[in-house]
């Protein structure tokens, strides 16, 4: 199951496209190039989060479901050694991002969905993406409030359509 990154409170500061080409220069202004990747290119996004509370009393918590069975009355259960372990149904935004980043990286840099506006047509779309960096750093602003920045890169998986119009 592909997770979706909850981006409420994220400021997308850059939306870029990169096209893979093979090129050769022959001198005196003569050159040749061929597109070697997808004609839509690969998207990159820069995200800034100025205030990332680490307390659900500061801002509403975020549901975190890393592939567990969700209960109707909230919370999650995961079977372990024949028993059940109840996990929190909501976490602070700082905890959520940390856990989401860790889950993605520890799962082999697993891709996830993000929802952003497509520069080509202005429609909101869901893209498969992954974190570019392998390190997540929080800047401490004051007690239990952090800030951070993220770099995201579009991903493609066989048999999975991306982007999807929302």
Give one word for 113, left, alpha or beta, with left for phi > 0 and alpha for psi -120 to 50: beta
Note down the domain range covering 148: 11-20+36-62+91-165
Residue 75 lies in a domain: no
Model's pTM, two decimal places? 0.73
The C-alpha atoms of residue 56 and residue 97 are separated, in whole angstroms, by 13
Q: For the chain, what is the domain count?
A: 1
Residue 85 lies in a domain: no
Mind listing the pLDDT tens digit of every residue in the chain (166 residues)?
898 998 888 899 999 999 999 999 999 999 999 999 888 899 999 999 888 877 765 455 565 555 544 444 444 444 444 444 445 557 788 888 898 999 999 999 999 999 999 988 999 999 999 999 999 998 887 777 888 999 999 999 999 999 999 9
């Amino acid at each position: 199951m592909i997770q979706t990154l909850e981006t409420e409170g994220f400021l997308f500061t850059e939306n870029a496209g990169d096209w893979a080409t093979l090129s050769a220069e022959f001198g005196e202004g003569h050159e040749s190039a061929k597109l070697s990747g997808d004609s839509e290119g690969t998207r990159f996004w820069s995200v800034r989060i100025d205030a990332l509370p680490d307390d659900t009393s500061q801002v509403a918590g975020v549901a975190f479901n890393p592939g567990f069975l969700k209960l109707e009355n909230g919370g999650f259960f995961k079977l372990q050694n024949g028993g059940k372990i109840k996990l929190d149904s909501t976490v602070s935004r700082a905890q959520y991002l940390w856990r989401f980043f860790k889950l993605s990286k520890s799962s082999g840099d697993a891709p996830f969905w993000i929802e952003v506006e497509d520069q080509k047509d202005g429609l909101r779309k869901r893209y498969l993406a992954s974190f570019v960096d392998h390190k997540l750093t929080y800047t401490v602003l004051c007690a239990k409030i952090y800030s951070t920045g993220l770099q995201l890169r579009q991903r493609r998986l066989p048999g999975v359509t991306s982007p999807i119009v929302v």
